[in-house]
Chain A
Amino acid sequence: MRKKHLIRRTLMTAVAVFFAVLFLMPTVLTIANSFMSQAEITANYGVIFGSASEGAYMSERVNLKLIPDMVTFQQYNTALIQSPDYLLRFWRSIRLVAPIVVVQVLVASLAAYSFTRFRGRWKEILFFSYIILMLMPYQVTLVPNFLIARTFNLIDRDWSILLPGFVAPFSVFLLTKFMRRIPISYIEAAKLDGAGEFQIYRRIALPLCRSALYSVVILVFIDYWNMVELPLIMLSDPDTHPLSVFLSRINREEIGVAFALATLYMIPTLLMFLHGEEYLIEGITYSGGIKG
């Protein structure tokens, strides 16, 4: 019996490790490749991207290597110092995403407080429509967004992406679900002590939701850090696109730099993940089940 257990356990562990390797590999390979010299990249991937300059060595088949022959920061040097163009792209991404995260969470926390404290038939119907809106794919929401942007003359300006982002309903939904778990007695007690609604929101609801706010920030950040559809439609000049769109178009001769940029681009989200994994998991768990 014990032996059977041991075999079973070993088998399970093997399966788990196999999957873990599969899940980690793409990320790890990208990071590893970013430390390779241009010559090594050409040697490894010349077959694919066909970028070998005259006389450069090029392997006949693709060479996936976990450890570079020689670790070098050449690509980072190019990406960060030599051509400011890339750094500018990075800055574009931050300039589009950071305001959206901050304002969306702020607006949503106010709305969530309203949905928590003051309920009624119309409020429930409204909350319901927020949920439906949240679940709609871009194919549906882009058209109204675009029409409004055109009416207000926002096309080709950052506001066409920022403004719909400020009021997107996802964080309203999640924060409301969190806030509705605050025991009503806390709020009643504060009321008895003479606190106004805004004070209750500031001093009780927000602090009690701190972990929820963090998980919402993570989820909203990764969502917009990945944005593709909105910039494609709203910004006709490819030069103004954020890194999330630009990385896919990067020149094939610059494949080495692209790996470095890809690695740089995942740093903010990976840091958030490593720091706030527990909150993220809590947030995901709460998003399961869509009723308030």
Chain B
Amino acid sequence: MKATLVKLNRKLGDKLYSGAFLAPSFIGVMTFFIAPFFVVIYYAMIDSPVRQNFVWFDNFERVLGNWAFQTAAQHTIMFSAIAVPLAVALALGLAVLLEQKIPAKSQLRTFFLSPMMVPVASIVLIWQVLFHQNGAVNDLLSTIGSATGWFSYERFYTLSDGRVINQWIDWFSSGYNQFPIVLLFLWKNLGYNMILFMAALNNIPKDLIEVAQIEGGGAFYIFRTVKMRFLSPTILFVTILSLINSFRVFREVFLLTGAHPYGGLYMLQHYMNNMFEALDFQSLAAAAIIMCIVMIGIIGLLFLIESRYGKDVEG
């Protein structure tokens, strides 16, 4: 009888300790994230905070059918579709590059990783200088064009009526405006992804590679048949991580082009900001839930991959 009492006591004590350590975090997360999310669900289903009539899915239909939401979603998807494959492929390339016998590897790694620690706000100015219509990138393109004679990229063009126009691409307000943002995204994120790939490359059993080498496999053959096998879970993981990160690119877009960017850069977060300004909580709530569902789908995929490959992905 006494033994069980002690046991019970210990269990209870453990529970108390467990709760005490967790309490600050748990209470905070509940108050600021999870509990209000139920309010968000409620808001998404009523017609207005004043009348509070249940309209079920009307708000969702309205948001999904909204032109601004559709364009914003389209732009976000387009950005991710361009940026994510590049972020994965180039990062893998850099990781493989740093595996080769080249000098000053650790310095190179530092250089590749450094953009991650440079605040976006600090780099915005130089990005504007580079990609402005009269900026350095256009200048460089024009110089390359005329120096090699391969193409002509003159700044000024005289129309038939004598007016002179600037025909250089305006990188921030034309159809090309996702381009500088993609570059900024890559610049910032490649280092992080590279480190993940380097860890994965490190975890490949050395003896397997040695056997392949003794058998006479070339470097590329070994990469394709042996290393890719071990890398594939990491590739999937990095892909999904980059996808999640690409949804956060609003930061860069906002700092570069302000609250009302030209066409292709109107992202979902811009839509949300406009709704915040208009205090349209019904649309906000519905949009947040739609995005939450999409994210849960993506995260579910991530977990599925992890449980499939289990320990392979572990650092």
Contact = CB atoms under 8 A, between A and B. Distances in A.
Interface residues of B, number: 99
Contact of A233 (B103, B187, B273): B273
A243 B120 CA distance: 11
Given A110-B24, A270-B118, A289-B306, A9 B101 contact: yes
Contacts of A22: 187
A67 interface: no
Contact residues of A: prevailing secondary structure? helix
A214 interface: no
A153 B129 CA distance: 41
B21 A140 contact: no
A187 to B, nearest CB: 12
B36 A145 contact: yes
Interface string A12-43: 11011001101110110110010000000000
Interface residues of A, number: 96
Given A140-B291, A273-B117, A135 B299 contact: yes
B46 interface: no
Nearest to B133: A48
A245 B256 CA distance: 11
Interface string B58-101: 00000000000000000000000000000000000010011011
A285 B196 contact: yes
A258 interface: yes
Contacts of A291: 303, 306-307, 314
Contact of A226 (B18, B35, B120, B139): B120
Contacts of B27: 167
From B17, B94, B296, name the one whose CB has the most chain A CB atoms within 10 angstroms.
Answer: B17
B125 A30 contact: yes
A220 to B, nearest CB: 13
B126 interface: yes
B119 interface: yes
Interface of A: 9, 12-13, 15-16, 19-20, 22-24, 26-27, 29-30, 33, 45, 47-48, 61-62, 64, 107-108, 110-111, 113-115, 117-118, 123, 126, 129-133, 135-148, 151, 163-164, 166-167, 169, 172, 197, 201, 218, 222, 225-226, 228-229, 232-233, 243-249, 255, 258-259, 262-263, 265-266, 269-270, 272-273, 277, 280-281, 284-286, 288-291
Interface of B: 14-15, 17-19, 21-22, 24-29, 31-37, 39-40, 43, 94, 97-98, 100-103, 108, 110-130, 132, 134-136, 139, 187, 190-192, 195-196, 199-200, 234, 237-238, 244, 247-248, 250-251, 254-256, 258, 268-269, 272-273, 276, 281, 284-285, 287-288, 291-292, 295-296, 299, 302-303, 306-307, 313-315
